[in-house]
């Protein structure tokens, strides 16, 4: 398995897998399989896949450490860009199907509805991370500053869950919110536990606490 992770075909395979949800949505839209409200189905589906991709990104480091597979780190950037890709599709679906690309109406809706505002804030932060995900940006910012900036993904995860929670609150349907919330809490909790454990491992449990990727 670890040999495959280093194989030149591994990234192309992952790229194709990450495009499968979009392929299905395009096919379902073309063949009228999105239900009675195709527009709402597309908005919801792109949002769901954004959240799933975000969970995958957050799972890379725990999986890399637990399975002793440092090779997994080479896929994190691609997965992160797919989070942004599906978030962009989610925003475009909302802007098109719900708002007809009326910029003034979209601006009013963002200001009026908290769950839209939170989702838009998460998208803005994702845009910043996507724009600085390349080697040139890493060199320009410096490794430490770049890492500090990209820890914003933890805040993005919280905003995404809050956006999902408020969106489902209108229908009093929190089952999926609880599932994703528990998963993200576990992934972030693992990082916190490892961060604290690294600090205690130092002589006397003092000194600067090691950072967790």
* Cβ contacts of 114-121, under 8 Å, gap ≥ 24: 114/166, 115/162, 115/163, 115/165, 115/166, 115/167, 115/169, 118/159, 118/162, 118/163, 118/166, 119/90, 119/159, 119/160, 119/163, 120/91, 121/159
Looking at residue 173, its pLDDT comes to 86
Give the predicted TM-score (pTM) of the model.
0.91
Distance CA 50, CA 58 (A): 12
Q: How do residues 55-99 score in pLDDT, each as one tens digit? A: 999 999 999 999 999 999 999 999 999 999 999 999 999 999 999
Residues of the chain with pLDDT under 70: 1, 201-213
């Amino acid at each position: 398995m670890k040999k495959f992770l280093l194989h030149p075909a591994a990234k192309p395979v992952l790229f194709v897998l990450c495009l499968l949800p979009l392929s299905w949505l395009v096919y379902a839209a073309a063949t009228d399989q999105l239900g009675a409200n195709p527009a709402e189905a597309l908005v919801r589906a792109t949002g769901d896949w954004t959240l799933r991709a975000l969970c995958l990104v957050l799972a890379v480091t725990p999986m890399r450490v637990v399975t002793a597979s440092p090779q997994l780190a080479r896929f994190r950037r691609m997965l992160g860009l797919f989070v942004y890709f599906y978030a962009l599709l989610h925003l475009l679906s909302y802007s098109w199907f719900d708002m007809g690309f009326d910029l003034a109406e979209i601006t009013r809706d963002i200001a009026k509805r908290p769950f839209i505002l939170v989702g838009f804030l998460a998208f803005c932060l994702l845009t910043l991370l996507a724009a600085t995900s390349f080697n040139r940006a890493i060199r320009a910012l410096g490794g430490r500053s770049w890492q500090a900036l990209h820890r914003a993904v933890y805040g993005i995860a919280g905003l995404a869950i809050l956006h999902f929670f408020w969106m489902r609150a209108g229908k009093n349907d929190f089952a999926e919110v609880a599932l994703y919330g528990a998963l993200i809490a576990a992934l972030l909790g693992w990082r916190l536990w490892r961060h604290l454990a690294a600090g205690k491992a130092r002589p006397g449990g003092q000194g600067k606490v090691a950072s967790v990727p």
